[in-house]
Structure 1
């Protein structure tokens, strides 16, 4: 049961759960309300595209298999997304000069500034949240979010809210 009090070292687990359960819907709502730049509006971009575009923006051009591994989806899924976005002109595809069987994917030059603008607000928010933390604290935050996401994707358990 939550007392609503914090100890000197931080909230109890139950108080932390309460705070995060109330905070997460607000965060998700704000993310969903973030305005897609006018230039990208007509492309019907979905959350799945956001992760793909973020990898290409932050890490540069890469192959479909590498994107699939990073997104933790099948290469066929990434191929479909890449085909869809390249037909719309958001992404460029080219053969790898070293291996002609491999396709290298990148953000189309004309859309790079709009994609960067779209993702920069989230990146800046994370920068402000993570910068004051020590590297160990950053690992804790990232590990906690990854565990939360992983647990949400597991089959329903018999756990109940307290």
Structure 2
């Protein structure tokens, strides 16, 4: 396989895996009443040391600020988050997890673990570690 064929194959495989991951997550998260985007937003909020501002959530999700409004609206309607005014900057809104939100974060983590186990069951633990290292090298998020 020449370099061009290898690059095309890599691209095809990556896109196929991304699609399969999304479909599997939708199937697993659907019964929880969440879309993958809502689940990701809730997980990000849950991993913050202190309640994030809406703009911070947008940055962490890699989207424009206006894109988080419908996500937060849906999470608030589901009883998972609540908005509150930032006392340090009254023009900013902070996002707090509710008890339901904390419970949902645990359920999301369990479902994501099941998705990973399902998709990557053909890999040994060492191969998974190598894959994680390679993906971090190519496109990992800054820590």
The two structures have a TM-score, normalised by structure 1, of 0.58
Aligned to 1:101: 91
Paired residue for 1:91, among 65, 69, 81?
81
Q: Which has the larger radius of gyration?
A: 1
- Separation in 2 of the partners of 1:82 and 1:73? 13
Which string of whole-angstrom CA distances, capped at 9 and with x for unpartnered residues, describes residues 76-96 of structure 1? 221232123212312121222
Unmatched segments (≥5 aa) in structure 1:
4-11, 147-162
Q: Give how far 1:31 is off.
A: 3.9
Please, what is the CA RMSD of the aligned residues? 3.4
Equivalence for 2:129: 132
1:54 corresponds, among 29, 43, 51, to 43
| Partner in structure 1 of residue 120 of structure 2 | none
Determine the C-alpha separation between the residues in 1 that align with 2:113 and 2:136: 14
Contact 2:75 2:81 in 1 (8 A): yes
Q: 4+ residue runs of structure 1 moved beyond 4 angstroms?
A: 128-131
CA–CA distance in structure 1, aligned partners of residues 21 and 46 of structure 2: 22
Which TM-score applies when normalising by structure 2? 0.64
Query: How far has the Cα of 1:18 moved from its partner?
Result: 1.9
Is residue 71 from structure 1 mapped to residue 61 from structure 2 by the alignment?
Answer: yes
Measure, in 1, the Cα distance between the counterparts of 2:90 and 2:127: 41
Matched-pair contact (CA < 8 Å) for 1:37–1:114: no
